[in-house]
Amino acid sequence: MNNETIGLVNTTVMQKRLNMEKCKVDFKSMSWERPMPGARFKAYQNNGRKLRFIEFEKAFVEPDWCKKGHIGLVLEGEMEIDFNGDAVHFGPGDGLFIPEGETTKHMAKVLTDVVRLILVEDV
């Protein structure tokens, strides 16, 4: 291989690496947003989707029924989600797949000091 070919290969490898880096969401470098007491999150939005890393503290109280859809995973802690009178327990490793709408309106209650979860939502 000559130097020109080596340079072209190195440039291609670097471009490929830069494109792959765009696939990483670096939550550590993001600032926390605090929408209400006892809740904070970091969010990344792209292509009509939002990926949120969320922390709920025991003091968190939802002000009203949530009718949004959520897909996610509980990473740490335990919570209960009340679906219009029917409570379901969620803990580490449990997935959430809550469709949007009135029939699946819900409210979360934190059972441990903190709950950490990942949610993917359409925006």
Contact present, 117 and 72 (Cβ < 8 Å) = yes
Cα 87 from Cα 6, distance rounded (Å): 62
Between 46 and 8, the higher pLDDT residue: 46
Q: How far, CA to CA in Å, does 73 sit from each of 22, 88, 96, 109?
A: 23, 14, 6, 16
pLDDT band at 35 (very low <50, low <70, confident <90, very high): very high
Residue 120: the pLDDT is 94
Q: Given a cut of 60, is residue 8 above it in pLDDT?
A: no
Residue 23: the pLDDT is 82
Residue 122: the pLDDT is 87
Contact present, 46 and 68 (Cβ < 8 Å) = no
Q: Where are the domains of the chain?
A: 25-122
Residue 25: the pLDDT is 92
- Of all residues in the chain, the percent with pLDDT exceeding 90 is 75
Q: Residue 57 carries which side chain, given as an amino acid letter?
A: E
Q: What is the CATH number of domain 25-122?
A: 2.60.120.10
